[in-house]
């Protein structure tokens, strides 16, 4: 009987001593617990941060902000958070005005895990690097098992949160603001004789989010933006008309079946085009010829290009002389003859400021031979400028005013 009484009082004494020790430990921890009175706390506030990942809630008191699509704003904000810099059109200035009313932050999950309480007497610890003014939002839930002896969050060597009685199905949640650049430590302690043998363990769900504040800087910049614009423009086409005639027959004086004198007019019909120049070549012998692939590709066109645009300064037409033929050119145009000419060819530049007749010149041929007849060749070329309207796409550079937003972490 006496032995049983002694054992009973011994148990009572141990339990009383443990209770006194726990109360003493609580008083020590509470005295070392740093609290930020300006920061909201509690389960509902922590849940709102941990469960709500929306970026921008649109509350538009004016028409300019209301006109901006919410999905566009969220996209812009995402780019701003990822790149820490955003350049956009000046039309989005209301977006900046909206951001000024927000507490701009970068939210990062530090941990979101399920864990078992330790069974060897050592604390289960997690460490994270944090910066001054970071807000740590926490939620720790005892989802299964027995009461957890102690859960604490420490900033450096100071306690910021302690819970020494987290029962099954209970949740401790809140938020703390970091005082200085430091290391944040989460400790889970479940120490005891039976607990260290693997009995009376618990499963906990741990969620930690870091919310880092940003400073937003605003700058208006100018940039050259490439744009494709359509425009109606006047272009000038150069049109070449050429002709090579080989069938002129100049009969002898005594041959009464044909003509021994020939007058060939050079008439130019301008229509709605501007005449820039014209030229001729006369072949007085059967062996004379022109290099003529087609009416679009021949030596007369190349000759005209040379005289008008100096494209080939070494091009000369074939000279042609015949003592039995008298060649005369009557020029009615008063146009300017170029320096590259001979007795049987020439090119004239036209001045369109002076009105000219359609007949520019006449080529007069007289056969002086009483016996011989000759085949006369004639090459002609005219050059026109013709205006026409075309729709063109051009890349132009437009100076635009842009907004540059920059996010910088608060120091």
| Residue span of the structural domain in which 334 resides | 233-390
Highest average pLDDT, of 11-15, 163-167, 178-182, 208-212, comes from 178-182
Asked whether 338 and 307 are in contact (CB, 8 A), the reply is yes
Residue 226: closest CA among 10, 71, 408, 400: 400
Tracing tokens 């049987």 back to the chain, one arrives at: 344
Instruction: For residue 28, give both structure tokens.
Output: 């020590």
Range with lowest mean pLDDT among 136-140, 280-284, 313-317: 313-317
Percent of the chain whose pLDDT exceeds 70 = 77
Mean pLDDT (whole number) for 289-309: 93
Task: Based on the fold, state whether residues 369 and 260 are members of the same structural domain.
Answer: yes
Task: Based on the fold, state whether residues 350 and 214 are members of the same structural domain.
Answer: no
Q: What's the rounded Cα separation, in Å, for the pair 149 and 189?
A: 6
Task: Based on the fold, state whether residues 40 and 179 are members of the same structural domain.
Answer: yes
Mean pLDDT (whole number) for 26-33: 41
Total domain count, the chain: 2
**Residue 212: its pLDDT value, please?**
76
| Choice between 235 and 5, residue whose per-residue pLDDT is larger | 235
Q: What's the rounded Cα separation, in Å, for the pair 310 and 321?
A: 27
Task: Based on the fold, state whether residues 147 and 87 are members of the same structural domain.
Answer: yes
Residue 8 lies in a domain: no
* pLDDT exceeds cutoff 90 at 368: yes
Q: What's the rounded Cα separation, in Å, for the pair 70 and 66?
A: 9
136: confidence class by pLDDT, cuts 50, 70, 90: confident
Task: Based on the fold, state whether residues 318 and 179 are members of the same structural domain.
Answer: no
Q: What is the pLDDT of residues 170-202, one digit of tens each?
A: 788 888 888 888 898 988 877 666 565 566 677
**Residue 54: its pLDDT value, please?**
39
Chain centroid to CA 157: how far?
50
Range with lowest mean pLDDT among 49-53, 226-230, 327-331, 392-396: 49-53
* pLDDT exceeds cutoff 80 at 281: yes
Q: What is the pLDDT of residues 71-117, one digit of tens each?
A: 777 777 788 778 888 888 888 777 777 776 666 677 778 888 787 77
Residue 253 lies in a domain: yes
Task: Based on the fold, state whether residues 239 and 369 are members of the same structural domain.
Answer: yes
Residue 123 lies in a domain: yes
**Residue 86: its pLDDT value, please?**
85
* pLDDT exceeds cutoff 60 at 395: yes
Q: What's the rounded Cα separation, in Å, for the pair 4 and 199?
A: 27
This prediction's pTM: 0.46
Q: Characterize the bridge pairing of strands 158-163 and 150-155.
A: antiparallel
| Choice between 188 and 313, residue whose per-residue pLDDT is larger | 188
**Residue 247: its pLDDT value, please?**
80
Q: Which residues contact 146 (CB under 8 A, 6 or more apart)?
A: 168, 200, 201, 202
Residue 186 lies in a domain: yes
Task: Based on the fold, state whether residues 277 and 136 are members of the same structural domain.
Answer: no
Task: Based on the fold, state whether residues 259 and 351 are members of the same structural domain.
Answer: yes
Residue 367 lies in a domain: yes
What is the average pLDDT value for the chain, to the nearest integer?
78
**Residue 57: its pLDDT value, please?**
40
Percent of the chain whose pLDDT exceeds 90 = 27
**Residue 356: its pLDDT value, please?**
75
Domain boundary (190, 218, 246) is at 218
CATH of the domain at 113: 2.60.120.680
Residue 163 neighbours by CB distance under 10 Å: 17
Task: Based on the fold, state whether residues 211 and 131 are members of the same structural domain.
Answer: yes
Range with lowest mean pLDDT among 109-123, 350-364, 386-400: 109-123
The long-range contacts involving 229-232, CB below 8 angstroms and separated by at least 24 positions, are 229/393, 229/394, 229/396, 230/391, 230/392, 230/393, 231/391, 231/392, 231/394, 232/389, 232/390, 232/391, 232/392
Residue 400 lies in a domain: no
* pLDDT exceeds cutoff 90 at 333: no
**Residue 169: its pLDDT value, please?**
80
**Residue 410: its pLDDT value, please?**
60
Asked whether 208 and 187 are in contact (CB, 8 A), the reply is no
Residue 12 lies in a domain: no
| Choice between 61 and 142, residue whose per-residue pLDDT is larger | 142
* pLDDT exceeds cutoff 60 at 53: no
**Residue 346: its pLDDT value, please?**
96
**Residue 132: its pLDDT value, please?**
85
Residue 7 lies in a domain: no
Task: Based on the fold, state whether residues 175 and 278 are members of the same structural domain.
Answer: no
Task: Based on the fold, state whether residues 106 and 146 are members of the same structural domain.
Answer: yes
* Residue 256 phi, psi dihedral angles, 5° rounding: -85, 0
6: confidence class by pLDDT, cuts 50, 70, 90: very low
Q: What is the pLDDT of residues 196-255, one digit of tens each?
A: 556 667 778 888 888 877 777 888 888 887 888 888 989 899 999 999 998 889 999 998
Asked whether 160 and 34 are in contact (CB, 8 A), the reply is yes
Domain boundary (166, 194, 218) is at 218
Task: Based on the fold, state whether residues 168 and 136 are members of the same structural domain.
Answer: yes
Residue 104: closest CA among 55, 63, 144: 55
């Amino acid at each position: 009987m006496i032995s049983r009484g002694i054992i009973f009082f011994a148990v009572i004494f141990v339990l009383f001593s443990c209770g006194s020790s726990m109360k003493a430990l609580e008083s020590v921890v509470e005295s070392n617990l740093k609290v930020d009175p300006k920061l909201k706390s509690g389960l509902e506030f922590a849940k709102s941060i941990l469960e709500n990942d929306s970026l921008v809630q649109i509350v538009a008191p004016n028409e300019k902000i209301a006109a901006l699509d919410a999905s566009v704003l969220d996209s812009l904000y995402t780019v701003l958070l990822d790149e820490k810099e955003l350049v956009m059109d000046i039309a989005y200035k209301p977006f900046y005005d909206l951001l000024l009313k927000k507490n701009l932050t970068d939210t990062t999950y530090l941990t979101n895990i399920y864990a078992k309480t330790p069974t060897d007497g050592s604390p289960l610890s997690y460490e994270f690097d944090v910066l001054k003014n970071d807000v740590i939002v926490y939620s720790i839930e005892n989802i299964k098992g027995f009461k957890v002896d102690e859960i604490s969050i420490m900033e450096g060597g100071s306690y910021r949160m302690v819970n020494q009685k987290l029962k099954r199905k209970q949740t401790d949640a809140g938020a703390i603001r970091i005082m200085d650049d430091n290391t944040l430590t989460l400790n889970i302690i479940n120490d005891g004789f039976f607990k260290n043998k693997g009995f009376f363990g618990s499963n906990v769900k741990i969620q930690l989010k870091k919310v880092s504040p940003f400073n937003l800087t605003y700058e208006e910049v100018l940039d050259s933006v490439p744009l494709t614009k359509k425009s109606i423009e006047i272009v000038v086409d150069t049109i070449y008309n050429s002709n090579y005639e080989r069938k002129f027959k100049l009969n002898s004086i005594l041959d009464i079946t044909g003509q021994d004198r020939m007058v060939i007019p050079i008439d130019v019909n301008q229509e709605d085009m501007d005449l820039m120049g014209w030229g001729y070549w006369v072949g007085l012998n059967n062996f004379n010829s022109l290099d003529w692939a087609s009416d679009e590709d021949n030596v007369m066109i190349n000759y005209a290009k040379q005289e008008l645009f100096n494209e080939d300064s070494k091009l000369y037409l074939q000279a042609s002389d015949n003592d039995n033929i008298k060649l005369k050119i009557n020029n009615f145009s008063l146009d300017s003859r170029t320096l590259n000419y001979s007795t049987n060819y020439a090119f004239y530049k036209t001045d369109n400021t002076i009105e000219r007749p359609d007949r520019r010149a006449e080529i007069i041929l007289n056969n002086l031979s009483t016996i011989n007849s000759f085949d006369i060749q004639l090459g002609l070329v005219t050059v026109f400028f013709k205006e026409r309207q075309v729709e063109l796409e051009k890349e132009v550079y437009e100076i635009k005013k842009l907004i540059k937003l920059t996010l910088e972490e608060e120091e």
